[in-house]
Amino acid sequence: MTQPASATDPAPGRRPELVPDPDAEAARMAAVRRYDILDTPPDGAFDRVAAMAARLFDVPVATVTIVDTDRIWFKAAHGLEGVAEIGRDPGLCGSAILRDHTMVIPDTLKDPVAADNPLVAGEMGVRFYAAAPITTPDGHKLGTVNVLDTRPRSITEEDTATLTDLAAIVLDEMELRLSALRALRDEQARREVERRHAEAERARAEAERAAREKAEQDKAAIAAFASTLQRTLLPPALPVVPGLELACHYRTASAHDVGGDFYDVFPLDSDRWAFFLGDVCGKGPEAATVTALARHTLRATAHVDADPVAVLSALNTMLLTDVTAGRRFCTVLFGLLEPRDGGGFTVTLATGGHPPAYHVRPDDSGAVWVRAVRPPGGMLVGAFPQAPFARTTFSLTAGECLFLYTDGLTEARTLEGTLLGEDGLTGFLHQRTAPVTATSLVEDSITLLASLPDGARDDVALLALSVPQPHTTPDGSVATTAHTAAAPEHFAQEG
């Protein structure tokens, strides 16, 4: 508890002045900043310590100081009105924080360093100074608790201990303040993180909602576009053909994909009619282009030369030369209908690599006779310049039906997981009951597709033609039925 300059043993002559070590000073300043107390507003706890010190020591002035790099800042100053800080001149506080223990200068005028301090030499005329360093647990001295008087005096060791205790109280107070500060900062940081998180969450939810909305809009727009395009690619309605019942069904596996299936029935002249049903390989816009090209080419060339083989050859040439067709090809059935004397039609059917059509007729016993119409040697259309096409001619008479379809029907999977196939389709046709009409056959096929586990995975187009029995339509009136659907929307049309 004794110091270099003590009341009982005043140092004769110049006391060796301590010079702060730069590294130690830097570490000390870091500690000062850590407590974040410089330039804070007055605080009752520190004011009370200063007041208590003044009372205990019976001195006019007592202060709590924090030593900054170039100034001594008063956290509390009892008896020193209007002074917030003073320069870091050596002699008093500036020197006290360089020592480990309480520094006592009984008479400043007898202390060579303190004598030059402005507080001593100046107006205030400080003659007595005692200061206990405010020391952190890691040994840094932040400032002092000090007492000053304008007359020389001495203090006891007990007094010195009291001053040290007061400095310890100040440090405790600063520690409490620091931990409160830290808690507050942590809380603020936590709230800030929460706020940012909530904000990010809100932004994310908003972006998600906007994206979802946009996607819904896009989806709806695309679906609407595809449906519209699909409708323009299909015949608006099947025509009324005297003495013939027609039915069709069209369904795309996805409302977003424009399918490649197509069909049409149209007049060639006063009594001849033509029909076709085909399937362009692939989907989407490119397939739709080929679909449109195929439909228009088939219709246009049929008016020039109605021979179905000639029509398919013309389409083959067109698809191979038209650049927009790219490397697409299609399979097509093209038929010519010529009325027979006494009812019914002579059908000339050519195939371009398409699955066989089925000629269906219930016999007198009620069983259904089924024949695959398969002109041999017809190649798919649009792949090879030398492609051959084949035709066959037969009669479609009263009570008979001709059934055309795309492979979406035969490639639909059954409950057993196998493809329906030609065998399955033949079996299905055999199970029909008389009368087998175009309408009933298409409706039964739709029911069949609906009964399969995942329906048709591919697009499906069905076209059926039947010659009504004379007694069912005594007045010679005809029926035409069309089912057209782009799943999941149905836009059935009656023609």
Partner 1 sequence: MTDTLELTVQHPRPGLAIATVTGDVDMHTADTLRRDASILIERGCPHLVLDLSQVGFFDSAGLSALIGLWHAAQAQGGALVLAEVPDRLMRMLTLTGLDTILAVHATTAEALTAMAASPSTSTGHPGSITRVSSADGTGEPTGVQRPV
Going from the C-alpha of 446 to that of each of 31, 264, 414, the distances in angstroms are 86, 19, 14
| Residue found under tokens 């586990």 | 453
Closest CA to 171 of 87, 261, 46, 60: 46
Name the minimum Å distance from CB 318 to partner 1. 17
Nearer to partner 1, 107 or 459 (CB): 459
Site string for partner 1, 343-362 (x = CB under 8 A): ----------xxx-------
Asked if 329 is part of the footprint of partner 1 (rule: CB under 8 A), the reply reads yes
Name the minimum Å distance from CB 490 to partner 1. 26
Going from the C-alpha of 67 to that of each of 92, 253, 457, the distances in angstroms are 11, 83, 84
Window 280-319: residues binding partner 1 (CB under 8 A)? 281-282
- Tell me the residue ranges of DSSP E strands in 418-479: 460-466
> How many whole angstroms separate alpha carbon 290 and alpha carbon 322?
9
Window 102-161: residues binding partner 1 (CB under 8 A)? none
Asked if 387 is part of the footprint of partner 1 (rule: CB under 8 A), the reply reads yes
**228: helix, strand or coil:** helix
Asked if 380 is part of the footprint of partner 1 (rule: CB under 8 A), the reply reads yes
On the 0-12 / 13-18 / 19+ scale of CB atoms within 10 A, 392 is middle
Site string for partner 1, 392-421 (x = CB under 8 A): ---------------x--------------
Nearer to partner 1, 143 or 356 (CB): 356
* Cβ atoms of residues 358 and 370 within 8 Å: yes
Stretch that binds partner 1, among 141-149, 325-333, 423-431, 486-494 (CB under 8 A): 325-333
* Rama region for 56: left / alpha / beta (φ>0; ψ in -120 to 50; rest): alpha
Nearer to partner 1, 225 or 384 (CB): 384
Q: What is the DSSP letter of 138?
A: T
Q: Which two tokens stand for residue 418?
A: 């196998």
Nearer to partner 1, 143 or 382 (CB): 382
Stretch that binds partner 1, among 65-73, 119-127, 133-141, 377-385 (CB under 8 A): 377-385
Total length of the chain: 495
Q: In degrees to the nearest 10, what's the CA dihedral of 466, 237, 261, 398?
A: 0
Stretch that binds partner 1, among 84-92, 175-183, 327-335, 435-443 (CB under 8 A): 327-335
- Tell me the residue ranges of DSSP E strands in 82-151: 85-87, 103-105, 128-135, 141-149
Asked if 383 is part of the footprint of partner 1 (rule: CB under 8 A), the reply reads yes
Residue 141: strand pairing partners? 135
> How many whole angstroms separate alpha carbon 187 and alpha carbon 389?
84
* Cβ atoms of residues 117 and 91 within 8 Å: yes
Name the minimum Å distance from CB 244 to partner 1. 27
Closest CA to 362 of 442, 435, 438, 460: 435
Nearer to partner 1, 248 or 387 (CB): 387
Stretch that binds partner 1, among 229-237, 246-254, 372-380, 478-486 (CB under 8 A): 372-380
Asked if 331 is part of the footprint of partner 1 (rule: CB under 8 A), the reply reads yes
Nearer to partner 1, 242 or 377 (CB): 377
Window 245-284: residues binding partner 1 (CB under 8 A)? 279, 281-282
Stretch that binds partner 1, among 131-139, 207-215, 386-394, 447-455 (CB under 8 A): 386-394
Q: Which of 155, 238, 350, 379 binds partner 1 (CB under 8 A)?
A: 379
Q: Which of 190, 327, 430, 490 binds partner 1 (CB under 8 A)?
A: 327
Name the minimum Å distance from CB 380 to partner 1. 4
Name the minimum Å distance from CB 326 to partner 1. 10
Stretch that binds partner 1, among 81-89, 133-141, 371-379, 437-445 (CB under 8 A): 371-379
Closest CA to 222 of 263, 250, 252: 252
Name the minimum Å distance from CB 411 to partner 1. 8
Omega prior to 488 cis, within 30 of 0: yes
Nearer to partner 1, 202 or 327 (CB): 327
Q: How many CA atoms lie within 13 A of 84 on its CB side?
A: 5
Asked if 35 is part of the footprint of partner 1 (rule: CB under 8 A), the reply reads no
Question: DSSP of 397-414, one letter per residue?
Answer: -TT-EEEEE-HHHHTSB-
Name the minimum Å distance from CB 317 to partner 1. 16
Q: Which of 377, 453, 470, 476 binds partner 1 (CB under 8 A)?
A: 377
Continuous segment of H or E residues that includes residue 483: strand 480-486
**Sequence-distant (≥ 6) Cβ neighbours of residue 153 within 8 angstroms:** 7, 106, 128
Asked if 434 is part of the footprint of partner 1 (rule: CB under 8 A), the reply reads no
Nearer to partner 1, 128 or 329 (CB): 329
Asked if 457 is part of the footprint of partner 1 (rule: CB under 8 A), the reply reads no
Q: Which of 362, 388, 424, 435 binds partner 1 (CB under 8 A)?
A: 388
Asked if 239 is part of the footprint of partner 1 (rule: CB under 8 A), the reply reads no
Omega prior to 133 cis, within 30 of 0: no
Residues that bind partner 1 (CB under 8 A): 279, 281-282, 327-329, 331, 353-355, 377-380, 383-384, 386-388, 407
